[in-house]
Amino acid sequence: MTSRTTGRASRAQLPRTLAVTSALALTGGLAACSTGSDDAGSDAPSDQTLTVAVYAGSWGESFTEAFVEPFEEETGATVELVPGGPADWLTALRSTQGGTPAYDVVAFTPNVVPSAVSAGVVAELDTERIAEFDQLNTVLAEQSNVDGTQYGVPLTVGSTGIAYRTDKVTEPPTAWSDLLDPQYCGHVAVSPLTFNTGVEFLAGLIDEAGGTITDPDDVDAAFEQLETLADCASSFPADGTSVETALANGDAWIAAHWDGRAFVQQNQGEPIGYSYPESGSVGALTSLFVTEGTEQEDLAYEFLNYVASSDYQPVFSEGTWYAASNDENVYPEQFSQQIASGEGAYDDFVWVDYEAITPQLPDLQARWQQIFG
Q: Average of pLDDT values for 262-267?
A: 87
Q: Any idea of the CA torsion for 153, 157, 161, 165, to the nearest 10 degrees?
A: -110
335, with CB counted inside 10 A (0-12, 13-18, 19+), is middle
Cβ–Cβ < 8 Å for 266, 15: no
pLDDT at 12 over 80: no
Cβ–Cβ < 8 Å for 208, 175: yes
What residue ranges define each of the domains in the chain, with the CATH number in brackets? 4-11+158-283+354-372 (3.40.190.10), 23-156+284-338 (3.40.190.10)
Cβ–Cβ < 8 Å for 315, 66: yes
73 CB-near residues (< 8 Å, 6+ apart): none
Percent of residues, the chain, with pLDDT higher than 90:
68
Partners of 107 in the β-ladder: 288
Cβ–Cβ < 8 Å for 254, 169: yes
pLDDT at 20 over 80: no
334, with CB counted inside 10 A (0-12, 13-18, 19+), is exposed
Is residue 284 very low, low, confident or very high in pLDDT (cuts 50, 70, 90)?
Answer: confident
pTM given for the model = 0.73
HEC-encoded secondary structure of the chain? CCCHHHHHHHHHCCCCCCCCCCCCCCCCCCCCCCCCHHHCCCCCCCCCEEEEECCCHHHHHHHHHHHHHHHHHHHCCEEEEECCCHHHHHHHHHHCCCCCCCCCEEEECCCCHHHHHHHCCECCCCHHHCCCHHHECHHHHHCCEECCEECCEEEEEEEEEEEEECCCCCCCCCCHHHHHCHHHCCCEECCCCCCHHHHHHHHHHHHHCCCCCCCHHHHHHHHHHHHCCCCCEEECCCCHHHHHHHHHCCCCCEEEEEHHHHHHHHHCCCCEEEECCCCCCEEEEEEEEEECCCCCHHHHHHHHHHHHCCCCHHHHHHHHCCEECECCCCCCHHHHHHCCCCCCCCCCCECCCHHHHHHHHHHHHHHHHHHHC
**Residues constituting the chain:** 373
Cβ–Cβ < 8 Å for 159, 200: no
pLDDT at 46: 57
CA dist 224 and 214 (Å) reads 16
Higher model confidence: residue 336 or residue 218? 218
Neighbours of 340 (CB within 10 A): 17
CA dist 150 and 110 (Å) reads 13
Residues 40-77 as b or e (16 or more Cβ within 10 Å = b):
bbeebeeebebbbbbbbbbbbebbbebbbebbbebbeb
Is residue 330 very low, low, confident or very high in pLDDT (cuts 50, 70, 90)?
Answer: very high
Query: For the segment 163-207, what is each residue's pLDDT rounded down to a tens digit?
Result: 999 999 999 999 999 999 999 999 999 999 988 899 999 999 999
Is residue 79 very low, low, confident or very high in pLDDT (cuts 50, 70, 90)?
Answer: very high
102 backbone φψ class: left, alpha, beta (φ>0; ψ -120 to 50): alpha
CA dist 100 and 86 (Å) reads 19
pLDDT at 40 over 60: no
